[in-house]
């Protein structure tokens, strides 16, 4: 991945020249710096940059499955409760 390909929402792990390590979600990338919530690091201050992109389609699928499973669990509990009465 090149600097041009980093986009808001990506997860960044930055090792600064000072040795400090910061992890954050990218909110913007400018020509000379990377920004996150409460983070603003010039590329010249970065020794190592690791970026991970979350598969948004996979996340949406997982969320949909969790919602459907939750609804089915509630319905099953209601049906079981009604059959006991």
Residue 71 CB burial class (10 angstroms; 0-12, 13-18, ≥19): exposed
The two structure tokens encoding residue 79? 């049906």
Task: Kindly report, residue by residue over 12-67, the tens digit of the pLDDT.
Answer: 999 999 999 999 999 999 989 999 999 999 999 999 999 888 766 655 555 555 65
Query: pTM of the prediction?
Result: 0.62
d(CA 85, CA 83) in angstroms, rounded, equals 5
Q: In CATH, which of 2.60.120.260, 3.30.9.100, 2.60.40.1180, 2.30.30.100 is domain 1-54? A: 2.30.30.100
**Nearest CA among 56, 59, 7, 58 for reference residue 30:** 7
Domain ranges of the chain: 1-54, 55-85
């Amino acid at each position: 991945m090149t600097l041009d390909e980093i986009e808001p929402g990506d997860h960044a792990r930055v090792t600064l020249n000072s040795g400090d390590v910061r992890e954050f979600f990218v909110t913007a990338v400018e020509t000379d710096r990377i920004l996150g919530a409460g983070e603003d690091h010039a590329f010249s201050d970065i020794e190592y940059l690791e970026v991970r992109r979350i598969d948004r389609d996979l996340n949406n699928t997982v969320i949909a499955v969790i919602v459907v499973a939750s609804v089915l669990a509630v319905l099953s509990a209601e049906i079981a409760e009604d059959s006991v009465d």
